[in-house]
Amino acid sequence: MPAPDAAARTDLFPPIDPYGTGFLRLDDRHAMYWEQSGNPRGVPVVFLHGGPGAGATPSHRRFFDPYHYRIVVFDQRGAGRSTPHGEIAANTTPILVDDIERLRVHLGIERWHVFGGSWGSTLALAYAQAHPARVRSLGLRGIFLGRPSEIDWFLYGIGHVFPEAWRNFAGFVPEAERGDLLDAYWRRLIDPDPAVHLPAARAWSAFEGSCSTLLPSPETVQAFSEDRMALGLARIEAHYFRNALFLPPDALLDGVAKIRGIPATIVQGRYDMVCPVVTADLLAKAWPEARYVVVPDAGHSAMEPGIRAQLVAAMERAKRLG
């Protein structure tokens, strides 16, 4: 069956179902959900979801031409369908990088395109810098490098643009604790009682969802507020934030020299408030070989029309790389 004309495509591909799914046992505690869709004999591409802890969704298969790509989607440790849900033990960036490599070997893939946004861009950069020979290209969106200034912006700075959402976020904890929102939320998120950790997770995740789109999107906020999504996202995100993403300072910027030869596209919303454009600009300056696209009428979400069009276009161009 011939592939549709891809040259004119500006939006997501139609929904598809996986042709294979499974769980990869990572250790005595963790099992990682994975799936494959598209063309079993196609060029491999792996999707790295955001958060950390958000998990993947069926829509994430749709950035890739299913006639051309063998599409690999998985849920990182503690996220989505991986078990145990919300688990932070043995959950660090170097371990997640090792998990990606283990999945590649498990699936018998020699090299693949690596595609990730937000935290997924962080993980994609970390993986590529650790295993450059395994990466055909990088598709990156909403750049997050995990610097203290970026974490502080998320916890406090967004309030300058989304004061209503931030008031709800900060107002969830007593006023005396608002000087350290990360610690205040952390203590609640790790409380074993669902009556304590679930409301905190919903408040954290709804805040992020409220700030993720250029225009208000009740559907996005609702999806972020669903209990399973909220707990994985909030607990694991707070865990990573408390530990500076388990990366040395400026490690990803310093590591650009290792990946200069890998074709890359950086897609960034001009009005991204979760991962502001200044970070993507910093990466682009350090990596002039990468294609850098700023979408003028978009926020953070990969589902913003301009963002998703540029991401699809990036993966259409990547077809020429094999």
The one catalytic residue among 60, 68, 239, 300: 300
Phi, psi (deg, nearest 5) at residue 255? -85, 0
Q: How far, in Å, are 26, 79, 103, 120, 266 from residue 72 at the CA level? A: 17, 16, 10, 14, 20
The one catalytic residue among 118, 205, 210, 212: 118
- Strand (E) or helix (H) holding 268: strand 264-269
- Distance CA(77)–CA(53), nearest Å, equals 8
Token pair 């094999």 in the structure block, residue: 322
- Distance CA(103)–CA(294), nearest Å, equals 32
- 118 tagged catalytic: yes
The one catalytic residue among 30, 68, 272, 301: 272
Report which of 287, 256, 35, 288 is spatially closest to residue 128, judged by C-alpha positions: 256
Q: What is the arrangement of strands in the sheet containing 69-74, beginning at the earlier edge strand?
A: 20-25, 31-38, 69-74, 43-48, 112-117, 135-141, 264-269, 291-295
- Distance CA(46)–CA(82), nearest Å, equals 16
DSSP classification of residue 57: -
DSSP classification of residue 82: S
Q: What six digits make up the tokens of 12?
A: 């997501």
- 272 tagged catalytic: yes
Catalytic positions are 118, 272, 300
